[in-house]
Amino acid sequence: GNINASDAAEVLIAAALIGAGDASGGLTDAQFNCADVDHNGDVNATDAASILIYAALVGAGSTELLPEEYFGTSS
């Protein structure tokens, strides 16, 4: 599917759960790796903000970058 504001919200919820002591934030390993967009080993509000910015750029037609290119990841 497409990356959108709902994805950012889910990452923010996971970050809050992690902050409250839930080590995984309710995420599977694969979801955690995708949510950790800055690749620092943590899922936090910075990751959620990055996802939201990307979603806004795509929604505004301001980027043709694939998520892998924008976030510096590869499949």
| Chunked mean pLDDT (size 10), the chain, 75 residues | 93 98 97 95 96 90 77 65
Residue 16: domain span:
5-70
Q: Given this model, what pLDDT does residue 50 score?
A: 93
Prediction pTM value:
0.84
Can you give the pLDDT at residue 23?
94
Give the number of domains in the chain: 1
Q: Within a domain: residue 75? A: no
Backbone dihedral region for residue 25 (phi beyond 0: left; psi -120 to 50: alpha; all else: beta) = left
Nearest to 43 by CA among 2, 4, 3, 8: 8
Looking at the domain assignment, is residue 59 inside a domain? yes
The reported pLDDT for the residue numbered 75 is 47
Which pair of structure tokens corresponds to residue 26? 């309710």
First to last CA, the chain: 15
Q: What's the confidence (pLDDT) of residue 74? A: 57
